[in-house]
Amino acid sequence: MAPDTVSLRYFLVLAQELNFTRAAARIGVAQPALSARMRRLEAELGTALLVRNTRSVELTAAGAALADSAPPALAALDRAWDTARSAAAGELGALRIGYSLSTGAGTTPALVDRLIRGNSGLQVEAVPMATPEISPAVADGRIDAGITRGEQPGSGVRRVLLRRVRVGVQLAQHHPLAGRQEIEIADAAAYPLRLPARSANPVIHDQLSALFRDTRPHPRFHTPAVSFDMSQRDLRDGVTLAPAGEAAAAVQPDGLTWRPLRGAPGLTIHLVLPQEQSPLHRRLLAVAKALAHELHWLPG
């Protein structure tokens, strides 16, 4: 059986000092306690490590060999303890995070960057996914976590509100409404409104379309034939407006701008986690909450 590491560390100090009084003072223990530990250590190993006399201490051949071989062994053990502690704290391992394209403009990159910068032992992979696929993928373990716009339905997951964003519209810079600081919902509804296909994110599609439900005349909704993120000619030409969260303001294509809708309720962004959480999940949640607080993602 290997000796306890405390006695081994005490022995290494004694091997350097070759004096019980000085070694005990350096360690911070009483000299008799140090002597007792060394006797127990020799008994455990079944061999003498020290030659003692009234004036000095010398190492035996076994003691010299132990003094040479113990430091790297203790250093390796310390690294093993540190690794175990890091894993228990969620600071070591791999995280695969699925995210919807609508969270890729600011939320997901900010969180991934903070995770990587603050935890050098973490490997983080961000995977773009269709929004309806994210919660089921978290629930069945295909990914470790997800970031979605809107509180998506699904069982077997925990949803944590991460960010609340204002709702506005994307529109051409030359559009008549672009000169306003805020746009009234009814004024925006006077133009054709461009929404992505409902299948891409039913929750957000329904929330955005509901903003204009009570306007008169009834709004004209237009769904482009190709991806919402790929085709924007109708916006640039000033023909349509596109309801969108404020993240769109940070990544405007040439010729477009974004203006908030007065009085519109905000959209939400959620962190999706499995119900049974590992240390990695708890670390992710702690970092996400700290980041949300620091960047004021949840005003009030």
Q: What is the DSSP string of the chain?
A: -PPPHHHHHHHHHHHHH--HHHHHHHHTS-HHHHHHHHHHHHHHHTS--EEE-SS-EEE-HHHHHHHHHHHHHHHHHHHHHHHHHHHHTT-EEEEEEEE-GGGTTTHHHHHHHHHHHH-TEEEEEEEE--HHHHHHHHHTTSSSEEEEES----SSEEEEEEEEE-EEEEEETTSTTTT-SSB-HHHHHTS-EE---GGG-HHHHHHHHHTTTT-SSPP-EE--SS-TTT--HHHHTTS-BEEEEGGGGGGPPTTEEEEEBTTPPPEEEEEEEESS--HHHHHHHHHHHHHHHHTTSS--
Q: What pLDDT score was predicted for residue 1? A: 47
Q: What pLDDT score was predicted for residue 87? A: 63
- For the chain, which domains are there? 5-88 (1.10.10.10), 100-154+269-294 (3.40.190), 167-260 (3.40.190.10)
Q: What pLDDT score was predicted for residue 290? A: 93
The total of other beta-carbon atoms located within 10 Å of residue 134's CB is 27
Q: What pLDDT score was predicted for residue 215? A: 84
Q: What pLDDT score was predicted for residue 92? A: 60
The low-confidence residues of the chain, meaning pLDDT below 70, are 1-3, 54, 83-84, 86-92, 118, 224-231, 249-252, 300
Q: How far apart are CA 213 and CA 8, in angstroms?
A: 76
pTM score > 0.75 for this model? Answer: no
According to DSSP, the residues that pair with 269 across neighbouring strands are 149, 163
